[in-house]
Amino acid sequence: MKTNILNILFILLFSLPSFSKSIQDHSEDYIALESGIELYVKHWSATNDQPTIVLINGLTYSTHEWDAFIQSLHKINPDIGILTFDMRGMGKTLSRNLLKDFLTPDISSPFHQADDLYMLLEKMNIQTPLHLMGLSYGGGVAQAYMSKYGRSQGVQSSFLVAPLITPVPAQMEWVSKRIKITRALFPFLKISEQDLFAFYFRQLVYSTFPMAEPIVLEHPFKLEGVYRLALAARHFNGHDLVELHPDHSIHFIAPTHDEYITQEEFRAYWEGLPKKKRGSLIYLENVRHKAPEEAPALLANVIFQMITSKDKKYFKGQTFSSRDFEKGLCLQSFIF
């Protein structure tokens, strides 16, 4: 009996497909851009004519937060190319460019980050179809990129995962109330509105983010970096950019249990999109904001099917659930 069990386990072990890539099979380096910044970059080259997906960090992310998603995607198809990088104010790029980032105000807006991404893709000259995937703040950067550069570098589409659409209303209201109180108490105060906003917004970030996002404490300067990124995004409005996107290029991915963005906000953005700009709306069932960490296999399966499918239904503005993609779900995405 024991021998039979061992034989079965041996057969199962060697019948599993072998994968040509792992989380270690990549190149990584700092790449200097014309803007003077050096971005930390990790790149898995695409093979066998497969596309490349560009992963754009959320506000508190760095490249290593994508590890589980990357592993899941390469378990489904090891030939998919992946590019991930730390933007200004994030991860190893922050450590490398500390003085440049902190001495130059407002240089980390989503639009500056989009310009950096354009310069990075120009330098790397990746010769495969590209797809952008941005989480939260990174979704704002993807919108800024697509609205300015479109498909000029071979970018076919953007996957906006719980993206930045506008600054969080409750945060803006909190700061606004304190500015009004300050003005009422000190009517002759000569501090500018912009400086008052920055002062109170820093209080908000420093007092609330460590509790909601403890990862901001992993590096002595990360919390300040997050504050500056959020401050520079205070005027961002995704609604203003929708007309500038290429046609049928926006795939909107909405986690149904997002704790930061309401479902009403998701729907308002999607319904405000001109139909000719829509790709597809996909609800990730029972998933919270940080989908690449919380449901890496589920998200990887959805993204893989979307970027490799020739089915035109994904570019007609239809709505899908993540359950609609389970039929093609690769079992290997759940094997550790």
pLDDT in tens, 208-253: 999 999 999 998 999 999 999 999 999 999 999 999 999 999 999 9
Instruction: Work out the mean pLDDT of the chain and round it to a whole number.
Output: 89
Q: Given this model, what pLDDT does residue 101 score?
A: 61
Could you give the percent of the chain with pLDDT greater than 70? 87
Q: Looking at the predicted structure, is the pLDDT value of residue 288 above 70?
A: yes
C-alpha angle 138/143/144, rounded to 5°? 95
89 phi-psi bin (left φ>0, alpha ψ -120 to 50, beta other)? left
Q: Given this model, what pLDDT does residue 25 score?
A: 72
Mean pLDDT of 287-297: 96
Q: Domain segments of the chain: what residues?
A: 18-165+233-334, 170-214
Q: What is the pTM of this model?
A: 0.88
Q: Given this model, what pLDDT does residue 205 score?
A: 98
Looking at beta carbons, which pairs linking 269-275 to residues 24 or more positions away fall under 8 Å? 269/165, 269/238, 269/239, 272/239, 272/242, 273/242, 273/317, 274/242, 274/243, 275/317
Q: Looking at the predicted structure, is the pLDDT value of residue 122 above 60?
A: yes
Mean pLDDT of 142-171: 95
Q: Given this model, what pLDDT does residue 106 score?
A: 61
pLDDT in tens, 9-55: 333 333 334 334 455 578 899 999 998 889 999 999 999 999 999 99
Q: Given this model, what pLDDT does residue 104 score?
A: 62
For 261-294, b/e burial (b = at least 16 CB within 10 A) is: beeebbeebbeebeeebbbbbbbbeebbbbbbbb
Q: How confident is the model at residue 327 (pLDDT cuts 50, 70, 90)?
A: low
Q: Given this model, what pLDDT does residue 217 score?
A: 95
Q: How confident is the model at residue 147 (pLDDT cuts 50, 70, 90)?
A: very high
Q: How confident is the model at residue 107 (pLDDT cuts 50, 70, 90)?
A: low
Higher pLDDT, 4 or 248: 248
Q: How confident is the model at residue 331 (pLDDT cuts 50, 70, 90)?
A: very low
Pairing of strands 38-44, 27-32: antiparallel
Q: Which CATH class is domain 18-165+233-334?
A: alpha beta
Q: How confident is the model at residue 182 (pLDDT cuts 50, 70, 90)?
A: very high
pLDDT in tens, 264-275: 999 999 999 999
Q: Looking at the predicted structure, is the pLDDT value of residue 5 above 50?
A: no
